Structure 1
Amino acid sequence: MSDADPVDSWKNDLLNRKSVADYLSNHLRKRYANKPSENGFVLAINAEWGYGKTFLLNAWHEDLKYQGHPAVYFDAWKNDFTPEPLVAFISKIDEELEALFKNERAIKKKLSEAIGALSRFTTPALRLAGAIAMKRLLNISLEELESIAKGREPKEILSDEALQDDRDAFVNGLPDSFAEALKAHKEKEHSISAFRKKLTKLIEELDKSRKFQLPVFFFVDELDRCRPNYAIELLEGIKHLFGVPGIYFVVGLNSNQLAYSTQAIYGPQFDGSRYLKRFFDQEYLLPEPDPREYVRALFQNAAISEKSYVHGLHRNVYPGIDVEAIFIMFAKAFDAGLRDQIRTMQLIEAAIAGIVVNEIHCWFLFALAFIYEKNSQMFERLVSKHEGAVQVLVRLIEPRVFSIIDPDFNTGKSRTVDFIQVLSLYLANYRKTKGQLGGQGEIGFEFPSSLLNELRSNEMITSNEDAQSLYSIGHYPDLIRHAGGFIRTQ
């Protein structure tokens, strides 16, 4: 059992992922109770980027350790630089479990024996242009390869009407050291068999322990961000090495992304989704976060100094309105998915770093950021006024017209303010000086024209009518352009 407080693991759980972990923990424990003799189990946690998958796996891993389950977390992407994914993974297992079992002599001994059984687990000197490439080009059995090594004609073995030229060339060009590679391959198989037997002994020792409970959990994260061959070799190793009772894997990935990347290895017609399913016994689709919680997490994690946000809405009509609510309005209007929202927040974060004054006109800054993220060319046409603002905005937002209900001071009745109205007002006035904006009595007090009062009183700090102050919203488009330089290459 870990000494860490489980509360600490979840203290930054802004997307309510603990409820997911609790549900899945209960599900997997019941599965093990009902099927203790099944040869391992692999659960895929499938989620888009930005769903809180990594936070979930990290915190869940710590939580399970506190509850008495031996658990290991492995970030595959951080180890992507190594040529041997399984060596890196086994090293992580050894490191974490040895620390966990430090006071348990019998258990620690079984762990050492299991790791020691893999001492001869090395890649054959000859990789045949890579094991994965061999499968794609040859698709032949080990017995056939052994026959080739003994000198039989390749055509005799691969007599197939559909035999391709690249297979002919590949087989005929096999080097003399192939027999040595086959020997190394058999030694590797022997190591795998010995490892699984020793791993089973470790599980049996843990089953007798009062301190630990089964199953053992191995978490593998960020698989879809790895090199395709690295990810596939790791998945194949998981299936072949760890298929023993009492070992449960939880693999975090974006299955669509990983399936797409496998085509770089197997070709554009390869069905990556179907291929990946063979590695997983079950798949769990991580639910989309609550929009408000997600945006709150974006703002909390962003490197933004304390600012006051000007939004101009009446709090008696919109009592809960704040900067997060304005961001959500834009996300809905521009039909921005979670990943789009992350990238837009990166733009906003970088742009705000260049704003010296305390007041931020969030309607205008957010609009520019969402427009730039959605279509940077449209952004340039908009701010350069090569095309009318309304025409551009309608093309970006329609048919998702978003309206705000606001009181009319003259009639006392409610009126509808179109989202585009607010943006058009800013676009028509963001380059104006104080004098060009008009005097105090010339600007209305109703939203959205009331925003011009905020511009006049707070933003324009220079009395020079001929110069555009860098502190004004007239600087926002340039700030967004500069911010775009950080993210457009990602």
Structure 2
Amino acid sequence: MNIKHNEIEISDENPFANCKLGRQKYAHILTNIIDSYSYGFVLAINNKWGTGKTTFVKMWRQELVNKEYQTVYFNAWENDFENNPLTALMGELKTLTTESTEPEFKSTLNKAAILTKHIAPIVAKAIADRYIDTEGIQDAIIGVTKGLTDIFEKEVNDYAKKKKSITDFQNSLAEFIANTNEGKPLIFIIDELDRCRPNYAVSILEQIKHFFSVPNIVFILSIDKTQLGNAVKGVYGSDNIDADEYLRRFIDLEYSIPDPEADIFYKYLYEYFGFDEFFQSDERRKYSKLTSDRGDFLSICKLLFTGKKIPLRQQEKIFALSRLSLRSFDANSYVVPHIFLFLTFTKIIHSSFYDNLKNKLLTIAQMQKEFLSIVEFSKNGQTERELIRLEVYLVNFYHNYLESQNYEKKLYEWDTETGKNKLLIDSTIDKDSNNVFLNILEYIHKGNEGDLDLGYFTNRIELLEDIKL
């Protein structure tokens, strides 16, 4: 049994063999773009955190390698301990050197060193200006000891040297790239840029634009553009900066990987985490009232994960916690998949609602109102009965949970005039007649299932019950 979703194995021969999201076709689209504009550009793959960008670019990179492209993969977040991104970027390029291209790379490296020498005083002055108010200390740091005329003359000379050093570096880099891949562009993938220190992320962008804008390099930025925009605002100290416009200076093309088709990912996770080992076990199948659990679990998965865009990484967390929590249920125990998975879902996605339930801070009416705001996205003709069923379970188990505090209000009672039960509570989903709500409520009280309370589930989700290994 898996309790953690490990990184997907990427086969050298068939990189997308283990991709469960059908994303190879998007890699083909992007490769065609590279083939069409091989002179060089910057492409941003823009998707939210947790949507599988890193796995995709790693698979795509291997496919590019198989098509004889030279590629570099650089995880910016893992390398933001390096103060100067130019050092890190050149370090990645070094991996492409061969015996025949080693002299060219050394020449490029020497020019990069000269370039860094010219940049360093400017960086020092910028840091001093931003963080130090005392003019005397600033002067000591940047060595300003001459008169204004001498300083101005020196800055003009430094400017000319810096400009020449950039040109020399770019020319040398272009020559090195041209001789590494027999006419194909170098594919330089930069991942996790939006997770770096803001100043490091912005510095990488600036250096790509100013130093690496040479023929035959295609930069692939795997980013969450919104988060990277926040980093830009942080560096420049203002929310008024148009971050989107700023990023357009660096990004030539933008592509977003389409969301996977409905049902694909949760079914994959169900199989990956081995839920059938529990739901379909020989021991559990002896009990007729428990045989529907597998179908019920997949039904509530469909309700929760196809009605709203839940990041893939968040879905992984929900399934991992659910599978681990199942270890605390005996083979003959009620799981009630609708409420069990919904509570796990809210613990990860809507934690404040989950905590309020667990701590009995809501009335039933308040709970129903918040519940409706969470599931409103899914409400339509096909899902309404499932939503009513979920609401019944939640209301009933939360009602029982409150009973431990002498909460005496009933949910329904016998009506002597009609000779039927009548509801004493309104449904937020079943607005027409409440008959479906009442029928489900009556059904679950025909057995012991209706006597369970919310703590029965939250204790297991919180891993407060013994885990059976």
| Same topology, TM > 0.5 | yes
TM-superposed deviation, 1:236: 0.9
Cα distance change on mapping 1:476 and 1:368 into 2, 3 Å: same
Q: Deviations over 1:97-120 (max 9, x none)?
A: 13xx4xxx4344434433343233
TM-superposed deviation, 1:216: 1.2
1:337 and 2:318 aligned: no
Map of 1:11 onto structure 2: 17
Contact 1:303–1:349 under 8 Å retained in 2: no
Aligned residue type for 2:111? A
Give the 5 Å matches for 1:239-254: 239-254=209-224
TM-superposed deviation, 1:291: 3.4
Query: For 2:166, which of 192, 196, 206 is the aligned residue?
Result: 192
* Aligned-partner Cα distance in 1 for 2:261–2:139: 56
Contact 1:220–1:249 under 8 Å retained in 2: yes
Contact 1:382–1:388 under 8 Å retained in 2: no
* Aligned-partner Cα distance in 1 for 2:460–2:291: 29
1:214 and 2:184 aligned: yes
TM-superposed deviation, 1:22: 0.6
* Aligned-partner Cα distance in 1 for 2:245–2:180: 35
Map of 2:254 onto structure 1: 283
* Aligned-partner Cα distance in 2 for 1:415–1:25: 43
Aligned residue type for 1:477? T
Contact 1:217–1:249 under 8 Å retained in 2: yes
Cα distance change on mapping 1:478 and 1:130 into 2, 3 Å: farther
Map of 2:230 onto structure 1: 260
TM-superposed deviation, 1:242: 1.6
TM-superposed deviation, 1:348: 5.3
* Aligned-partner Cα distance in 1 for 2:443–2:200: 57
* Aligned-partner Cα distance in 2 for 1:429–1:403: 29
TM-superposed deviation, 1:363: 1.5
Map of 2:328 onto structure 1: 356
Alignment length (residue pairs): 397
1:235 and 2:205 aligned: yes
TM-superposed deviation, 1:66: 1.1
Map of 2:43 onto structure 1: 43
Q: Deviations over 1:374-400 (max 9, x none)?
A: 544433443454544464133332444
* Aligned-partner Cα distance in 2 for 1:126–1:91: 22
Map of 2:100 onto structure 1: 106
Query: For 1:226, which of 177, 192, 196 is the aligned residue?
Result: 196
1:367 and 2:361 aligned: no
Query: For 2:395, which of 419, 424, 433 is the aligned residue?
Result: 424
* Aligned-partner Cα distance in 1 for 2:272–2:49: 15
TM-score (norm 1): 0.67
* Aligned-partner Cα distance in 2 for 1:357–1:394: 30
Structure 1: give runs of 5+ residues left out of the alignment.
138-165, 407-413, 434-445, 461-467, 484-490
Map of 1:141 onto structure 2: none
Structure 2: give runs of 5+ residues left out of the alignment.
1-9, 145-150, 405-438, 465-469
Map of 1:55 onto structure 2: 55
Q: Deviations over 1:429-472 (max 9, x none)?
A: 57999xxxxxxxxxxxx96776678966xx99xxxxxxx9xxx9
Map of 1:476 onto structure 2: 457
Map of 1:64 onto structure 2: 64
TM-superposed deviation, 1:240: 1.6
Cα distance change on mapping 1:342 and 1:375 into 2, 3 Å: same
| Superposition CA RMSD, Å | 4.4
SS state at 2:81 partner: coil
Contact 2:16–2:24 under 8 Å retained in 1: yes
Aligned residue type for 1:241? F
Cα distance change on mapping 1:189 and 1:392 into 2, 3 Å: same
TM-score (norm 2): 0.69
Query: For 1:177, which of 119, 126, 143 is the aligned residue?
Result: 143
SS state at 1:48 partner: coil
Aligned residue type for 2:223? L
Q: Deviations over 1:314-366 (max 9, x none)?
A: 97xx9x9464442231246xx65323x64465255346435333654422222
Cα distance change on mapping 1:422 and 1:187 into 2, 3 Å: same
* Aligned-partner Cα distance in 2 for 1:448–1:242: 66
Q: Deviations over 1:294-333 (max 9, x none)?
A: 3345556769894328997997xx9x9464442231246x
Aligned residue type for 2:309? G
SS state at 2:100 partner: helix
Contact 1:126–1:177 under 8 Å retained in 2: no
* Aligned-partner Cα distance in 2 for 1:196–1:52: 34
* Aligned-partner Cα distance in 2 for 1:451–1:19: 47
SS state at 2:116 partner: coil
Give the 5 Å matches for 1:22-33: 22-32=28-38
Contact 2:346–2:354 under 8 Å retained in 1: yes
SS state at 2:21 partner: coil
Contact 1:371–1:378 under 8 Å retained in 2: yes
Identical counterparts, % of pairs: 24
Contact 2:339–2:394 under 8 Å retained in 1: yes
Contact 2:186–2:217 under 8 Å retained in 1: yes
* Aligned-partner Cα distance in 1 for 2:77–2:330: 39
Aligned residue type for 2:167? S
SS state at 1:59 partner: helix
Contact 1:304–1:353 under 8 Å retained in 2: no
* Aligned-partner Cα distance in 2 for 1:18–1:7: 14
Contact 2:112–2:169 under 8 Å retained in 1: yes
Cα distance change on mapping 1:400 and 1:236 into 2, 3 Å: closer
Cα distance change on mapping 1:447 and 1:238 into 2, 3 Å: same
Map of 1:201 onto structure 2: 175
